[in-house]
Amino acid sequence: MTRVFVRIVLLMVGLGFTTAGHTQDYPNRPIRLIVPFAPGGTSDLVGRMVGAKIGEGLGQTVVVDNRGGAGSTLGTHLAAKAPADGHTLIVNHVGLAINETLYSSLPYSGLKDLAPIARIGSTPNAVVVKNALPVKTIKEFIALAKKEPGRLDYGSGGVGSTGHLSVALLEYVAGVKFNHVPFKGGGPSMIATVAGQVHFAIPAFPTAVPHVKAGRIRMLAVTGAKRSPTMPDVPTVAEAAVPEYEFDSWFGIFTPAGTPKAIVSRLNQVIVKAIEMPDLRQQLARAGLNPESSTPDELGRILRDDTAKWAKVIKAAGIPIN
């Protein structure tokens, strides 16, 4: 009995030293940061900005890996099933919570298979239309949609993307109907809107701003509770047309569940420190993002709360579950 006990203790101690060793030499190779959308969208922009700072903080290369498709579920699945050693990260947003209900059968659970690390910030979406569309205000836009239900096409980053759900919510609360044209990411969707291939889109605010300032498209409203300081003359949807409407997107960094807590803690410290850096805050703000960090537990709570919230919205709005 004594010998068995001693062997068990030695085995446990050995495993402890092994885990500590892996933690102490972390990271020992380049880190892959998965962006589950195509290049050019807000997630891609945010991922590259924050990824560069993570690399500086850890003294290791961070390689951005765009894996768009299926409303971010392809890239998210890849991250969820990666080794839990801190060398695979993923930047995701509120769509992670939305997809828990939007898809009836996912090969992963956003709540169980990913470990939250830190929140990056939040941003509203923006209602933008092609220049040829004969509307100048969000009120005129809603009136046109009611007059010609189902005629206006809109692009999004894919089924379940924020660009999709923000429009679905507008349909629900405003009593209108649009035709959905999904793309493989916010970037391609924005290009299609600029080219006039779709009538409008409601992309993340940072994705739209450069094109609006260049005169390629018109911004009718922002979807948040308040106007954006970046473009203060643009009203919110709620104040100008639909009082019940509000939509904001948060962004955060996750890693596979089971990653050692010491590694998650170190990553959190690096990201929180980066979010406080004036240069990154300015970059994020110029892109239309309100920088805001968090603890892993706080980000986990946000994910759980939004999963419950969007389950109710999706079912109440009658949004098809894939």
Question: 179 and 34, same structural domain?
Answer: no
For helices 42-58 and 278-286, give the axis angle rounded to 10 degrees: 170
Query: Backbone dihedral region of 72: left (phi > 0), alpha (psi from -120 to 50 degrees) or beta?
Result: left
Could you tell me the residue range of the domain that residue 272 belongs to? 27-122+250-317
Whether the model clears a pTM of 0.85, i.e. scores above it, the answer is no
Question: 307 and 209, same structural domain?
Answer: no
**How many structural domains are present in the chain?**
2
With 0-12 CB in 10 A as exposed, 13-18 as middle and 19+ as buried, what is 144? middle
Question: 73 and 86, same structural domain?
Answer: yes
For residue 59, give the CATH number of its domain.
Answer: 3.40.190.150
Query: What pLDDT is attached to residue 248?
Result: 87
CA distances from 111 to 32, 306, 312 (A): 21, 11, 17
CA distances from 38 to 44, 64, 66, 187 (A): 7, 11, 6, 6
For residue 180, give the nearest of 194, 196, 165, 195 by alpha carbon: 165
Asked if 168 contacts 317 with a C-beta cutoff of 8 angstroms, the reply is: yes
Query: What pLDDT is attached to residue 302?
Result: 95
Residue 9 belongs to some domain of the structure: no
Residue 4 belongs to some domain of the structure: no
Q: What do you get for the CA distance between the two ends of the chain, in Å?
A: 56
Q: End of a domain among 199, 219, 240? A: 240
Question: 158 and 135, same structural domain?
Answer: yes
Residue 294 belongs to some domain of the structure: yes
Query: What pLDDT is attached to residue 316?
Result: 74
Token digits of residue 260: 């050692």
Asked if 171 contacts 125 with a C-beta cutoff of 8 angstroms, the reply is: no
Three-state secondary structure string covering the chain? CHHHHHHHHHHHHHHHHHHHHHHHCCCCCCEEEEECCCCCCHHHHHHHHHHHHHHHHHCCCEEEEECCCHHHHHHHHHHHCCCCCCCEEEEEECHHHHHHHHCCCCCCCCCCCEEEEEEEEEEEEEEEEECCCCCCCHHHHHHHHHHCCCCCEEEECCCCCHHHHHHHHHHHHHCCCCEEEECCCHHHHHHHHHCCCCCEECCEHHHHHHHHHCCCEEEEEECCCCCCCCCCCCCEHHHHCCCCCCCEEEEEEEEECCCCHHHHHHHHHHHHHHHCCHHHHHHHHHCCCEECCCCHHHHHHHHHHHHHHHHHHHHHHCCCCC
Residue 213 belongs to some domain of the structure: yes
Residue 22 belongs to some domain of the structure: no
Question: 256 and 113, same structural domain?
Answer: yes
Residue 2 belongs to some domain of the structure: no
For helices 296-317 and 162-174, give the axis angle rounded to 10 degrees: 50
Residuewise pLDDT in 10s, the chain (322 residues): 556 555 554 555 555 544 554 577 899 999 999 999 888 878 898 999 999 999 999 999 999 999 988 878 999 999 999 999 999 999 999 989 999 998 888 999 999 999 999 999 998 999 999 999 999 999 999 999 999 999 999 999 887 778 888 998 899 889 999 999 998 888 899 999 999 999 999 998 888 989 999 999 999 999 998 898 888 999 999 999 999 998 988 999 999 999 999 999 999 999 999 999 999 999 988 777 889 999 999 999 999 999 998 898 788 767 777 7
Question: 228 and 130, same structural domain?
Answer: yes
